[in-house]
Amino acid sequence: MRLTINQYAYFDSLVFSLNQPSGAHMRQNHVYLVDTYHFVVETEVRWDMPSSTPDSASRRRTAVRSLAADVGGLAASRPAPTGRAPTAPAPPVAAEHGRTAWLADLGVLGVAVVWGSTYVAMQWSGRFISVPAFLFLRFAMGASTIVVLAPRAWRGLTRQEMSIGALFGCLLFGILYLETLGVRHTLASNAGFLISLSVILVPLIERTFLRARIARVTYPLTLVSLAGCALLTLDRGFTVRGGDLIILGAALIRAVQIVLFSSQSKGRDISLLRVTGVELWVVACGGLLVSLFRPGRSVHEATHLPGEAWLVIAYLGVAGTAFAFLTQLYAARASSPTRVGLMMSTEPFFAAVFAVVLLSENLGPTQLTGGGLVLLSAYLGRWADARRLASRPESPAAAPVPPEGATRRGPLRRSYGTDPRT
């Protein structure tokens, strides 16, 4: 018999058929279509079954599924039969996906490490520079780096992308202003744990204002996270640090921003790269405008910054902003939102590690227990939300295949928002 293999360059996706469309079997992963390869392999796979058997076609299809990997490798390595034009070898799809996903996970873990260190850096920078001047320098450096690294991505910027980026850039400025101010009046480890509460707040806001269905486990996880907050914020008795309250305000605004971005951008053809780039420039301009209210102090701070402070700000702008943003875009193409979210859930852990090592913060059993509860609730919240989204009929796994010619090289387009700290 003759086995025809239509192999499409999806990650980990193959289409097999036995000379008739009804026998086709497809394992699809929703990734952009790259190219098409067609191979014909004759007399390489044989089945000892009479053709008159009623279920022979079904058994043959099952055999094709079980031999998918072997036949794919055979088609990629064996030359074309005599009399047929040679065909290009198939790319090692599964192996490529494994390497790409591994690199994506490693990059996202690196982002979590970098963002964990930013709380220490933001607290330390408070000795030399005000919050608005700090935001201007950091995000001007970060946005400029992205423009230099991806200049072509800005072509085709639309008014819709400008308006969405400007609106949510203002919200992002408020989030980062509170976050930067709050971390200067509390422990850096506390800030890392408390800001992750936005993971729990997002589904609660969706349920309250959008009447969206949420996972039932969200409610007990909310109680667990509140208990963790209480253990974190109660400092030697029943006093609460003012910085902790400011960080909680930043987490609340962040959750609102994520919900609004998701609802406002749904169904719109927008470039995530360009929208977030506009947001970064809005944050930089916001810091500059607020700094102009005290021009004398701002100029004095900028001209008298020590060299190590410039290095810290450059680190936050390049690594904590540009690198983090571009890495997440790469991971969004090569990995899954669930994997990215779970890897990013380790950020509070790294924040605590850097706070203890670099700032000599002393985390007692109470703070460790509270931080663990907050981290656990955020982790389980991401997992529960990922399961809820995967069960929807319109989930990415069930999405239609993009038409041929849509490549992964173009600007990433999404209908949901970015992490505000990019």
pLDDT of residue 99: 72
Would residue 141 count as lying in a domain? yes
Q: Which of 102, 126, 122 is nearest to 114 (CA)?
A: 122
Contact present, 204 and 225 (Cβ < 8 Å): no
Would residue 156 count as lying in a domain? yes
265 and 348, same domain (yes or no): yes
Domain boundaries, position 38: 2-91
Would residue 408 count as lying in a domain? no
Give the whole-angstrom CA distance, residue 92 versus residue 330.
20
The residue behind tokens 């408020």 is 174
Would residue 416 count as lying in a domain? no
Tell which of 57, 91, 125 closes a domain.
91
Contact present, 274 and 410 (Cβ < 8 Å): no
pLDDT tens-place values along the chain, 422 residues long? 333 333 322 222 223 333 333 333 333 333 222 222 222 223 333 334 444 444 445 554 444 444 444 434 444 444 444 454 444 454 454 455 567 778 888 888 899 999 999 999 999 999 999 999 999 999 999 999 999 988 887 888 999 999 999 999 999 999 999 999 999 999 998 898 889 888 888 888 888 888 888 878 888 888 888 888 888 877 655 567 889 999 999 999 999 988 888 777 777 778 888 988 999 999 999 999 999 988 888 888 888 899 999 999 999 999 999 999 888 878 877 776 667 777 787 888 899 999 999 999 888 888 889 888 888 888 888 777 777 767 665 444 434 444 333 333 334 444 333 454 54
Would residue 22 count as lying in a domain? yes
229 and 329, same domain (yes or no): yes
Q: What is residue 8's three-state secondary structure?
A: strand
22 and 42, same domain (yes or no): yes
199 and 239, same domain (yes or no): yes
Which residues contact residue 371 at a Cβ distance below 8 angstroms, ignoring those fewer than 6 apart?
189, 190, 193, 228, 232, 348, 352, 363
Give the whole-angstrom CA distance, residue 356 versus residue 190.
11
Which residues contact residue 419 at a Cβ distance below 8 angstroms, ignoring those fewer than 6 apart?
328, 344
Give the whole-angstrom CA distance, residue 234 versus residue 86.
72
Give the whole-angstrom CA distance, residue 201 versus residue 195.
11
147 and 175, same domain (yes or no): yes
Tell which of 61, 91, 121 closes a domain.
91
Would residue 414 count as lying in a domain? no
Count Cα atoms within 13 angstroms, Cβ side, for 13. Answer: 18
Rounded to whole angstroms, what are the CA distances from 227 to 101, 201, 237?
36, 15, 15
11 and 44, same domain (yes or no): yes
Q: Which of 36, 27, 24, 153 is nearest to 403 (CA)?
A: 36
Contact present, 396 and 30 (Cβ < 8 Å): yes
Tell which of 91, 125, 141 closes a domain.
91
Token code pair at residue 78: 């064996």
pLDDT of residue 67: 40
289 and 180, same domain (yes or no): yes
Would residue 404 count as lying in a domain? no
255 and 295, same domain (yes or no): yes
pLDDT of residue 196: 86
Q: State CA 235 to chain mean position distance.
A: 34
119 and 86, same domain (yes or no): no
256 and 117, same domain (yes or no): yes
Would residue 405 count as lying in a domain? no
Contact present, 44 and 74 (Cβ < 8 Å): yes
284 and 229, same domain (yes or no): yes
Structural domains of the chain, count: 2
Give the β-pairing of 36-42 and 2-10: antiparallel
Contact present, 286 and 77 (Cβ < 8 Å): no
82 and 114, same domain (yes or no): no
